[in-house]
Chain A
Amino acid sequence: MPSRRTSRRLAADAGLLVVAAAFALPLAWVILSSLDPRAELRVKAPDGLTLDNFDAVLTPEITLTPLLNSLILCGGGTLLTVACSALAAYPLSRFRSRLNRPFLLTILFATSLPITAIMVPVYALFVRVNLIDTMQGTIFFFAASQLPFAIWLMKNFMDGVPKELEEAAWTDGASSFQSLIRIVLPLMGPGVAVVTVFSFVMMWGNFFVPFMLLLTPDQMPASVSINEFFGNRGMVAYGQLAAFSVIYSTPVILLYVLVARRLGGGFALGGAVKG
């Protein structure tokens, strides 16, 4: 039944294209507007192409400082997350212990809690311990909120590294810590990369955490400073806002593309989530 199959494929194609078009409209708007000297709120062909919008936002104050802040926050948070999750995943993956299962279940439980809900008490707590409005406090919280999932992912990847190689190292007198650093982590390089990129992407896009925990404008990361385009400055320059959105989103999209293959196209992350 080749003809029937073909017609069915055409129908499926058509259906998908309609959805794709609907999903693409808002994306098309941001790209077109960022290049449009007279950007509006609706999708339209630009009145001539220009890079003026990018030019206008690429100043230290509007773009560079927030992006640098984002980089410090997310970079710091990611490093901490990766280091801690590796240390935590190692015993979970290598040693049988009666505590493993409850611990893993707790982690799984924590993974799916709505982080939003604890932000108000975290704020109150941070005020009390004087961590409010500090970069390091925010970094710590970022790391902590990302940890459960990172440990979970890291353990799954670590399980894939054969134990024999490590046992050889142990007989040669290496400690567990040494074998983790020298043997296990290098062997699971791609896994570590996935955890790193994933944590980074999650933090990069996070709005609520820095919105709550940071107060001084010049510490704000891009996710919060984008709000400045609204309201506070009177007339909204849509073209500039769009240009800023493009600049701010590009890194995470690139990073995602980079790891998408590693995640196995069909989303091994879904598998990781499913356990």
Chain B
Amino acid sequence: MVLLLLFLAGPIAYCAYIAFTDLQLTGQAHASFVGFDNFREAFQDEEFLNAVWLTLVFTVISSLIGQNTLGLALASLMQRASKPVRTLTGGIVITAWVLPEVVAGFLLYAFFRKEGTLNAILDALHLPSQNWLFTLPILAVSFANVWRGTAFSMLVYSAALNEIPKEITEAAEVDGAGGWRRMWHITLPMIRRSIGTNLMLNTLQTLSVFGLIWVMTRGGPGDKSQTLPLFMYEQAFQNSMIGYGTAVALLLLLVGSLFSVVYMRLLRTEV
């Protein structure tokens, strides 16, 4: 309890305070109170807006579309697949998830590099290869996040699909509903709570990804893959503007809390 208060609530309160100051790392004696200047500055700062946009792209591609859909697809395929294949696939996908963040980042860095595996495959298929980390860094890190995060969705959806009574799907099958229609009219409505929960948690998790992107691209080239956490880091430490970095952090935290509240709403209907 004390720990929680001291180390979570404390920093958040402190965060709220220095976000309104012009605190810098250069060691001036007193930071002065600057009101909403940091925030005003942020919304006029092109780099900040760029980071917001990239965060949005990153979250939508990797979390909403990638992890969520792929996770659901894997889970529903697993319902039908034979046991050895199920175990093998599950094992591999989960390993990608359990790996330490930095190792995962490094593995995918190797995968997407110019001399890396992806291009080797494309070459073999006579498809054009390119320097992914340079031309489409945000796409590369998004795929990396899908690689790393899909296991969670897969597990959540597997659990949800297992809870659907067999009779219902069988009845629909007898009535002549095809695979897609069954999915759309029966399965999806029945697991919609899990979908909500999963989307929420994925999004929150994706919002705070730092290590993965840091290892793969450092936010570069230029700022083409600089999402908010990286932007925050750069402002606070490379540009020594802690106050400004914290203002960005606070905004990120606000977005996170917003999602968090929605998430709790979803749960409340369930509990």
- Could you tell me which A residues sit within 8 Å of B by CB distance? 8-9, 12-13, 15-17, 19-20, 23-27, 29-30, 40-43, 80, 84, 87-88, 105, 108-110, 112-125, 140-141, 143-145, 147-148, 201, 204-208, 211, 222-224, 226-227, 230, 238, 241, 245, 248-249, 252-253, 256, 260, 266-267, 269-271, 273-275
Contact = CB atoms under 8 A, between A and B. Distances in A.
Given A15-B77, A121-B11, A207-B100, A116 B242 contact: no
Interface of B is mostly: helix
Nearest to B198: A270
Interface of B: 1, 3-4, 6-8, 10-12, 14-15, 18, 23, 70, 73-74, 77-82, 85-86, 88-89, 92-96, 98-103, 106-108, 110-111, 113, 115-117, 119-120, 147, 152, 155-156, 158-159, 162, 194, 197, 200-201, 204, 207-211, 214-215, 229, 232-233, 236, 242, 245-246, 249-250, 252-253, 256-257, 259-261, 263-264, 267, 270-271
A256 B113 CA distance: 30
B88 A20 contact: yes
A144 B98 contact: no
Contacts, number: 248
Nearest to A238: B110
B122 to A, nearest CB: 11
A42 B23 CA distance: 46
Contact of B253 (A113, A147, A238, A267): A113
A19 B98 contact: no
Contacts of B103: 30, 226, 245, 248-249
Given A16-B77, A226-B103, A144 B6 contact: yes
A117 B113 contact: no
B8 A249 contact: no
B23 A41 contact: no
| 6 closest cross-chain pairs (CB), A and B | A144-B7, A114-B208, A205-B100, A121-B15, A207-B211, A116-B208
